[in-house]
Structure 1
């Protein structure tokens, strides 16, 4: 996959990370419920799309994932821990237990879960060369994950999420060649029709959904409903990403920038949101104005931090160069 071919993937990730941030900014319940119905499954899915099982040998693969996932995770975990305690942010008391046994409310939970999913999927592909057997193992894991949800079974670092998260990762991986090849053969009319169709399905189904899908707590609800609902949202963003990549260079540039810096945004946006929410509440009481001003300062701060990390601390992100 060259850079031209995966441009729409960066746009998709950019849209996805915007939805993640919005989901943590106190938006109305219905919009939050809709975003949650697919935004984290979207990141498991796109990680699967980008995953190439036979690209690296086993040891090289593990070392690479340690360098690009777990080491940055530990670094940003420490930043969140010390900032939250230093700033004394109200109703966000981080304990050492959370630091050492996995985050409760921070989006950083996604990183160790993705790490284990990638190692697990790599292992499954190494042991089971038959596609039917791989499918069987993935379905089995998904059912085990659903059992954890029903029985309220939780593990440190939210490892119970691995089982259902693997499903979205797997589907992203097996559909990657088709999605990438097909992305340059769509007509605008078809893109618009499919984008609107999946958007309406996603909104409509999330409205009638009894429970809010929350991957962070393995709250998956009815699998026969929640998984198709998640993919309706994922496909909406997929078609929207292609539309944007074809017809709006300026918007594409912004979304690609955000999409290529999702790790930094994912890791730091919540601590910044909570800090600004606390500070602005002291002098700005009008809810809508406060929300808009906080959004402005949030994204300005994130862009500044992206610049800092990309230029001076890129090695922490597992990169060899700026």
Structure 2
């Protein structure tokens, strides 16, 4: 409801939708899915305490991006279609511009921001530690996602033999199973995350290959979604970023089925509406991912210094308000990005 209201208000204020660039001929349901997941991710960053809803969101909102990637892979580069040639060099160059350059820029900005706060607070400055995390692809805050996403896609792109795919899937499952015992070292954690990302890309590819989105009935999707909510509570709090899966099969099942159900519901109901704001956020989901942590930290600092931590003290209302504020700021940044050529390059949109 907030998105519909926000969308309507902006159309009225702007007078026309063409002021913000949105690529035509895109799959609206995919953009809506990415937008919903990135908004939910931002919301979870504003919620301090763990609760049932946050537990549920963490069970699928990050894996959903990998699943969507797998769906798009299948649609663009059907591996069984030998008539389609894949320009690997072009794809890698494009993804470096779209993912790794923004990763580097915004990780450095976060590192400088945190180091400055440590300096003025008299704390130990951890700039070197941040730099090590950046160059080893561990990332800062939620920026860990970008290199994991990049390398998972790259691995999937090059593993075009069924035998190789099977080996990677089996090894990834083994690493997931033993993750509580072997994930103390950063490199092992990174490999596990990439392996899990690969599994979800493969699942998304299979969903598209067997046309499950169109075959699953809406009411069945709703029922399955409720079942997954209950199973998520049973499995407990999980997170790909923290390499915490609890029961790995429940984790994979919940993330995959919930993502599929959301895609079915979006395709059958939301796809009928032209929600331009949601399309905008979906198309620019990587932009939101890059900038949300820095915005969150700045807004939190202002809230603490000026409003006596109002957003934290008001709990659920504060989290919702916090999320709306972040989305509004992100909207302005996206607007400026589409007006300023340099910003397009920063966000990998050239």
TM-score, structure 1 as length reference: 0.83
Residues 55/108 of structure 1: CA separation in 2 closer, same or farther (3 Å cut) = farther
Q: Which moved more, 1:37-46 or 1:311-320?
A: 311-320
Residues 203/170 of structure 1: CA separation in 2 closer, same or farther (3 Å cut) = same
Q: Which residue of 2 aligns with 1:70?
A: 100
Gaps of 5+ in 1: none
Residues 179/87 of structure 1: CA separation in 2 closer, same or farther (3 Å cut) = farther
Cα deviation for residue 87 of structure 1 reads 5.3
Match of 1:303 among 311, 325, 331: 331
Q: Which moved more, 1:302-311 or 1:17-26?
A: 302-311
Counterpart secondary structure, 2:32: helix
Do the aligned residues in 2 keep the contact of 1:87 with 1:275 (CA within 8 Å)? no
Q: Which residue of 2 aligns with 1:213?
A: 238
Do the aligned residues in 2 keep the contact of 1:21 with 1:269 (CA within 8 Å)? yes
Residues 62/4 of structure 1: CA separation in 2 closer, same or farther (3 Å cut) = closer
Q: Which moved more, 1:94-103 or 1:60-69?
A: 94-103
Q: Which residue of 1 aligns with 2:268?
A: 243
Is 1:20–2:45 an aligned residue pair? no
Do the aligned residues in 2 keep the contact of 1:198 with 1:235 (CA within 8 Å)? no
Q: Which residue of 2 aligns with 1:59?
A: 89
1:47 & 1:310 partners in 2: Cα distance? 24
Counterpart secondary structure, 1:21: helix
Is 1:84–2:111 an aligned residue pair? no
Map Cα deviations across residues 12-43 of structure 1 (whole Å, 9 max, x no partner). 10111011111111165221111111111111
1:104 & 1:319 partners in 2: Cα distance? 21
What is the total number of aligned residue pairs between the two structures? 306
Q: Which residue of 2 aligns with 1:270?
A: 293
Match of 2:303 among 258, 280, 288: 280
Match of 1:134 among 148, 165, 168: 165
TM-score, structure 2 as length reference: 0.77
Counterpart secondary structure, 2:241: helix
Q: Which residue of 1 aligns with 2:221?
A: 195
Residues 292/174 of structure 1: CA separation in 2 closer, same or farther (3 Å cut) = closer
1:300 & 1:63 partners in 2: Cα distance? 31
Cα deviation for residue 301 of structure 1 reads 1.0
Do the aligned residues in 1 keep the contact of 2:28 with 2:271 (CA within 8 Å)? no
Match of 1:34 among 33, 38, 56: 56
Match of 1:108 among 119, 139, 143: 143
Residues 140/299 of structure 1: CA separation in 2 closer, same or farther (3 Å cut) = same
Counterpart secondary structure, 1:175: helix
Residues 127-206 of structure 1: pairs in structure 2 closer than 5 A: 128=161, 131=162, 133-156=164-187, 158-179=190-211, 183=214, 190-191=217-218, 193-206=219-232
Residues 101/222 of structure 1: CA separation in 2 closer, same or farther (3 Å cut) = same
Residues 55/65 of structure 1: CA separation in 2 closer, same or farther (3 Å cut) = farther
2:349 & 2:327 partners in 1: Cα distance? 23
Residues 15/86 of structure 1: CA separation in 2 closer, same or farther (3 Å cut) = same
Gaps of 5+ in 2: 1-22, 78-83
Residues 174/232 of structure 1: CA separation in 2 closer, same or farther (3 Å cut) = closer
1:292 & 1:175 partners in 2: Cα distance? 32
Counterpart secondary structure, 2:46: coil
Counterpart secondary structure, 2:62: helix
